[in-house]
Amino acid sequence: MARSSVATLVIAHFNQNNFLMSNTSINVEQIRQYFLGLQERITAGMSAVDGKSFATDSWTKPADAKLKGDGRSMILEEGNILERGGVGFSHVRGDSMPPSATAHRPELAGRAFEAMGVSLVFHPRNPHIPTVHLNVRCFIAQAEGKDPVWWFGGGMDLTPYYGDEADCKHFHQTCKNALDPYNTELHPRFKKWCDEYFYLKHRDEPRGIGGIFYDDFSELGFEQSFAMTRSVGDAFLEAYLPIVKKHQHDPYTENQREFQAFRRGRYVEFNLVFDRGTLFGLQSGGRTESILMSMPPIVRWGYDWKPAANSPEALLYTNFLKPIDWIAR
In a domain, 48, yes or no: yes
Residue 146: per-residue pLDDT: 76
The total of structural domains in the chain comes to 1
Inter-residue contact 327 to 173 (CB < 8 Å): yes
Among 21, 18, 22, 26, CA closest to 105? 18
Residue at 135 is within a domain? yes
Query: Does residue 217 lie in a domain region?
Result: yes
Residue 68: give its domain's CATH number.
3.40.1500.10
Q: 79: left (phi > 0), else alpha (psi -120 to 50), else beta? A: beta
Is residue 276 assigned to a domain?
A: yes
Report the distance separating Cα 154 and Cα 175, nearest Å.
Answer: 12
Interior/surface letters 114-126, b for 16+ CB within 10 angstroms, e for the rest? bbbbbbbbbbbbb
Q: Is residue 47 part of a domain?
A: yes
Spatial separation of the C-alpha atoms in residues 329 and 327, rounded to whole Å: 6
CA 278 – CA 255 distance, rounded (Å): 30
CB 81 within 8 A of CB 240: no
- In-domain check, residue 115: yes
Q: What is the pLDDT of residue 20?
A: 30
| Residue whose C-alpha is closest to residue 154's, from 200, 124, 120, 181 | 120
Catalytic residue among 13, 91, 123, 133: 133
Per-residue pLDDT of the chain (329 residues; tens, 9 = 90+): 334 333 334 333 333 333 233 345 668 899 999 999 999 999 999 999 999 999 999 999 888 887 789 999 999 999 999 999 999 999 998 887 766 666 677 777 778 888 999 999 999 999 999 999 999 999 988 877 777 788 999 999 999 999 999 999 999 999 999 999 999 999 999 999 999 999 989 999 999 999 999 999 999 999 999 999 999 999 999 999 999 999 999 999 999 999 999 999 998 898 888 877 777 667 766 677 777 778 899 999 999 888 999 999 999 999 999 999 999 98
Spatial distance between the Cα atoms of 25 and 18, rounded to a whole number of angstroms: 18
Q: What is the pTM assigned to this prediction?
A: 0.88
Per the CB < 8 A criterion, the answer to whether 182 and 224 are in contact is yes
Q: DSSP labels for 61-83?
A: --TTSSEEEEEEEEEEES-SSEE
| pLDDT at residue 109, rounded to an integer | 75
What is the distance between the alpha carbons of residues 257 and 207, in angstroms, rounded to a whole number? 18
Q: What is the pLDDT of residue 185?
A: 97
Q: Which domain holds residue 169?
A: 26-319
Is position 5 within any domain? no
Residue 128 annotated in active site = no
Q: What is the pLDDT of residue 7?
A: 39
Integer Cα distance of 78 and 149 in angstroms? 42
